[in-house]
Homo-oligomer: A and B are copies of this chain.
Amino acid sequence: MRAERKDKRRSEIESVALEVMRQRGYEGASMLNIAKAAKASNETLYRWYGDKQQLFLEIVKSNAADAEAALDKALAADLPPENILEEMGKRMLHLLLGERAVALNRAAASDASGHLGAAIAKGGRERVFPKIVLLMGALRKAGLIDPPDDEQAAMWFLSLLIGDLQTRRVIGTLPQPTRTQINEHVETTLQAFYRLCGPR
């Protein structure tokens, strides 16, 4: 198989795996079920990924890469920092509460070994948080906020933004929000954030 076709096939399989997992849960997403749904043989799955956990590890990694790219795009935009913050908020909620991230968090919660959870944290929070801290620095220098320190401001922003939405999505009691709902929530969050961190 040519390299490009193989890459395409891999991401196809990974996408199917996530869909199976979404419908039948992590335990229901057996290698056999995934292989059938992807019209692949389980031998190929085992050859390519080793086992189920590593398959999902791959998915976590590629999802993290996509997410980071989406956020970096917002950060690289030539906009004033307050607009970048708004854009980041929208994109983060869209990513965090979307089907992919929710399915992966469910998988991590199901995985007793903790490896999936560690990978999610490594590709997610540990990568994103520093960017938010830097953004807070930019906001502070622009005189838009006056927090105790940038890290605290980042924590507050993320807490206000995400709240218990993620947990509710993961345990299945909250449907995926629409784009409009996300925008409204970001709006409210920003008001609260500036009220909390704004200059006196």
Q: Interface residues, chain A, CB within 8 Å of chain B?
A: 23-28, 105-106, 108-112, 114, 116-118, 120-121, 125, 152, 155-156, 158-160, 162-164, 166-168, 170-173, 188, 192, 195-196
Contact = CB atoms under 8 A, between A and B. Distances in A.
Nearest to A161: B159
Given A23-B112, A25-B112, A163 B155 contact: yes
A33 to B, nearest CB: 12
Contacts of A111: 25, 172
A110 B106 CA distance: 6
A171 B112 contact: no
A171 B25 contact: no
Contacts of A110: 25-27, 106, 109-110
B170 A109 contact: yes
A162 to B, nearest CB: 6
Give me the 5 closest cross-chain CB pairs, A-B, nearest first: A25-B112, A117-B171, A109-B109, A159-B163, A114-B172
Contacts of A188: 152
Given A163-B162, A164-B162, A117 B173 contact: yes
A167 B114 CA distance: 13
Nearest to A196: B196
